[in-house]
């Protein structure tokens, strides 16, 4: 089996697990606030993350070299998690994915002022076409827009901002700072919300928050393996396979039917996203490759970013 095929299959498996992870979030969201789900999922996943981070002692301390960017990135990661979890709770899975798939478009736009990225005519057209796809999904004026749609859009925007910030400071900032600060901020901020949103959880629901953490951990490991096996230009488009799982899970578990406009808009968004990835893969087109460098689903503060874990692994092998 070629490396590209193996990497693609590993990525497909990772995103299938991520989709299952989102199904559990949607199920729990019928009974609990998104802050409560995030808090307990983070609490359950912390031992797994600690074990992963303790294996690497290369970083010196946890004082950020870019404190304000680190703070902003931590806050946007928390916001992304809360908004994405809420969107999965109240929107059909396919609609939520369709809106979150706009992240490559928003990353491309944000990279212009923040990274000095020069976006040519072709990528610019791809961004415009992709945003038209988002409008097709949302259908403003002809469909009822809800807080869930606003939450999904917010998650796509803050997730994109988080990615661009990592790209901006990642070369100078210690990877331990980049990984730990969003998780600590998530724990503190969602913990502070607990007195206002907490609802007692039976043991089986508490266990499901552990399932969320476990699925995220396994999917992250598979994503790392995929990116170590095949180039990003092969692995990155595999994220769009989640829409297939969204349609299947939505129909089987939640009695959801993806409507015509959602499917058409999703197709437009996916096509524009893949085009941007392919253009960035051409060395002379992009100086920063912000989308290809992302390598992660929207960062929610529950797991370290894939790109940071890959960087730490490369550093260990170099030593």
Q: Report pLDDT digits (tens) over 139-164.
A: 876 667 789 999 999 999 999 999 99
C-alpha dihedral (295, 296, 301, 305), degrees to nearest 10: -30
Q: What mean pLDDT, rounded, does the chain reach?
A: 89
Q: What is the pLDDT of residues 206-231, one digit of tens each?
A: 999 999 999 999 999 999 999 999 99
Does the structure show a pLDDT above 80 at 309?
A: no
Helix (H, G, I), strand (E, B) or coil at 19: helix
d(CA 158, CA 78): 9
Residue environment code for 34-68, b if the CB has 16+ CB neighbours within 10 A, otherwise e = bbbbbbbbbbbbeebbeebbeeeeebeeeebebee
d(CA 181, CA 177): 6
Q: What is the pLDDT of residues 249-302, one digit of tens each?
A: 999 999 998 889 999 999 999 999 999 999 988 877 788 889 988 888 888 888
Q: What share of the chain is helix, strand, coil (3-state, %, to 5)?
A: 75, 0, 25
| Lowest model confidence (mean pLDDT) among 37-41, 52-56, 152-156, 254-258 | 52-56
Instruction: Give yes or no for a contact between 10 and 222, defined as CB atoms under 8 angstroms apart.
Output: yes
d(CA 49, CA 39): 15
Structure tokens of 319?
Answer: 């030593």
Burial of 207 (0-12, 13-18, 19+ CB in 10 A): exposed
Contacts of 132 (CB under 8 A, 6+ apart): 268
List the domain boundaries for the chain.
3-318
User: Can you tell me which residue has the tokens 């552990």?
Assistant: 210
d(CA 99, CA 102): 6
Structure tokens of 195?
Answer: 């007195």
The pTM assigned to this predicted structure is 0.91
| C-alpha closest to that of 235 among 42, 4, 1, 2 | 4
Structure tokens of 16?
Answer: 């299938």
Instruction: Give yes or no for a contact between 120 and 61, defined as CB atoms under 8 angstroms apart.
Output: no
For residue 112, report the phi and psi dihedrals to the nearest 5 degrees.
-70, -55
Q: What crossing angle do the helices spanning 242-253 and 93-100 adopt, rounded to 10°?
A: 160
Instruction: Give yes or no for a contact between 25 and 210, defined as CB atoms under 8 angstroms apart.
Output: no
């Amino acid at each position: 089996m070629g490396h590209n095929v193996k990497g693609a299959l590993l990525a497909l498996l990772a995103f299938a697990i991520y989709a299952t992870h989102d199904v559990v979030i949607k199920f729990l969201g019928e009974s609990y606030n998104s802050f409560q789900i995030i808090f307990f999922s983070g609490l359950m996943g912390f031992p797994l993350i600690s074990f992963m981070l303790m294996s690497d002692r290369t970083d010196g301390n946890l004082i950020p070299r870019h404190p304000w960017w680190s703070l902003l990135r931590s806050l946007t990661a928390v916001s992304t998690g809360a908004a994405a979890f809420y969107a999965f709770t109240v929107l059909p899975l396919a609609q939520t994915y369709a809106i979150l798939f706009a992240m490559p478009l928003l990353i491309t736009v944000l990279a212009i002022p923040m990274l000095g990225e020069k976006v040519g005519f072709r990528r610019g057209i791809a961004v415009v076409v992709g945003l038209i796809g988002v409008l097709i999904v949302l259908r403003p004026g002809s469909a009822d827009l809800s807080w869930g749609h606003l939450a999904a859009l917010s998650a796509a925007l803050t997730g994109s901002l988080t990615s661009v910030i990592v790209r901006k400071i990642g070369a100078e900032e210690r990877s331990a700072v980049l990984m730990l600060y969003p998780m600590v901020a998530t724990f503190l901020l969602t913990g502070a919300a607990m007195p206002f949103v907490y609802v007692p959880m039976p043991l089986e629901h508490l266990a499901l928050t552990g399932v969320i953490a476990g699925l995220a951990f396994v999917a992250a490991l598979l994503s790392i393996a995929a990116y170590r096996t095949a180039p990003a230009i092969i692995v990155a488009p595999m994220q769009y396979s989640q829409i297939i799982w969204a349609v299947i899970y939505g129909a089987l578990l939640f009695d959801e039917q993806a409507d015509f406009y959602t499917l058409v808009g999703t197709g437009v968004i996916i096509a524009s996203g893949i085009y941007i990835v392919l253009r960035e893969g051409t060395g002379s087109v992009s100086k920063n490759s912000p989308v290809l460098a992302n390598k992660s689903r929207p960062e929610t503060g529950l797991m370290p970013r894939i790109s940071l874990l890959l960087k730490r692994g490369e550093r260990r092998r170099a030593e």
